[in-house]
Amino acid sequence: MKKQIDVTAAIIVKDNKVFAARRKAGMHLAGFWEFPGGKLEVGETPEQCLARELQEELQITTRVGAFVGVSVFDYGSKVVRLMAYQVEHLDGGFELIDHDAMCWLGLDELDSVEWAPADIPLVEQYKAMAATEAYYTANAQAYCAETRAFDVGDLYRPFLDQLTDDAHILELGCGSGRDSKAFMDKGYTVTPVDGNAEVAACAEQYLGRPVAVTTFQTLDYHKAFDGVWASASLLHCPRPQLPDVLARISQALKDSGVAYLSFKWGDADSVDNRGRHFTNFTEDSLTGLLGALTDFIVIKIWTETKPLQDGEQQWVNALVRKVAR
């Protein structure tokens, strides 16, 4: 069996441009561009590894943020498992030691350089996330007005039937605030969060209460909620990140708490005419994902069709319960 090497990669973004560096002559993968980082040492976390490697390679100090994704690539002599994180540059002048060139690339320029093979899937994951985020930033008001008009009240009952009347609900990816308001009007305590600042501001104005800007990848609550409502939100989470995000949802739930999730139906991921990336599921594939998790028991998975924009959309829904520990 080939040896697998765990390596970290930093996606450093500044002024909407991504940092890339080219491997210098004489090194493995010389001439290829990459996200900077390096091999994990014994006892290191990925975050500790990145902080150390970026200081050694580029002479910069950084703050490591959310997990972006993982890429596994077989280079023949070894298998590299590359784990990427969002990283904030704090200080230092980007001195090249293991590289001979660097550049900052806009979203539409990411394909202009020859990336190391293991980095290519991470580039694609970042592009999907960034394009989706850009759409919501530019169209927050219109998006909120559009989705607020959709009637999804029939979806509430299966979820609320699992909760007590005094339940505390986290709406993860609250969008326009439509569902949070419906739950609040029914007397529930609700904590709405959204990953996009402009959308969160729209929801905050609509709800008349604060809406925290929190991404799936940075969700950090501990046994705080009886229920998590993630309606048509996790569908923008890149597929490789879903296990980690679902673990964060489990951590946020109290023992025996319930989560509702919904995705567009599809046997492959897609990009719509607005440039948004969608992680799609069928009943079988969602059953496979959730059934492999030890934190949850699946209550129900079902498919239904709802009006959407100028047509209809098939959705896959799931209710899961956190296993009491």
List the CATH number of the domain containing 284.
3.40.50.150
Pair 261, 223 in one domain? yes
Got the DSSP string for 42-72? TT--HHHHHHHHHHHHH--EEEEEEEEEEEE
Residue labelled with tokens 């909407």: 16
317 φ, ψ (degrees, to nearest 5): -115, 150
Residues 44 and 185 in one domain: no
Residues 149 and 282 in one domain: yes
- The answer on 171 and 110 residing in a single domain is no
Exposure of 47 by Cβ count < 10 A (0-12 exposed, 13-18 middle, 19+ buried)?
A: middle
What total number of domains does the chain contain? Answer: 2
d(CA 295, CA 255): 10
113: DSSP letter: S
Q: What b/e sequence results for 294-308 when a residue is b if at least 16 CB atoms lie within 10 Å of its CB, and e otherwise?
A: ebbbeeebeeeeeee
What is the value of pTM for the model shown? 0.86
Is there a single domain that holds both residue 153 and residue 39?
no
Q: Are residues 112 and 155 in the same domain?
A: no
Give pLDDT, residue 1.
67
| pLDDT at position 65 | 86
Taking the C-alpha atoms of residue 268 and residue 104, their distance in angstroms, rounded to an integer, is 31
Q: Which residue carries 């969002």 as its tokens?
A: 86
Residue 309 has pLDDT above 70, yes or no: no
Q: Which domain holds residue 13?
A: 4-137
- 113 and 154 inside one domain: no
Predicted confidence (pLDDT) per residue in 182-232, tens digit: 999 999 999 999 999 999 999 999 999 999 999 998 899 999 999 999 999
Question: Domain boundary at 106, 137, 168, which?
Answer: 137
| CATH number assigned to the domain comprising residue 38 | 3.90.79.10
Domain boundary among 110, 137, 164: 137
| Digit-coded pLDDT (tens) for 56-109 | 999 999 999 888 888 999 998 889 999 999 999 999 999 999 999 999 999 999
Domain boundary among 77, 108, 137: 137
Q: Are 323 and 297 in contact (CB under 8 A)?
A: yes
In this structure, are 267 and 297 located in the same domain?
yes
**Residues 280 and 202 reside in one and the same domain:** yes
Does residue 230 share a domain with residue 280?
Answer: yes
* Same-domain check for residues 275 and 167: yes
Backbone angles phi, psi at 81, to 5 degrees: -105, 105
Same-domain check for residues 149 and 285:
yes
Q: How far apart are CA 46 and CA 43, in angstroms?
A: 10
**Maximal CA-CA distance, the chain:** 66
Residues 6 or more apart whose Cβ sits within 8 Å of residue 119: 9, 33, 34, 35, 71, 82
pLDDT surpasses 80 at 310 = no
pLDDT of the residue at 76: 87
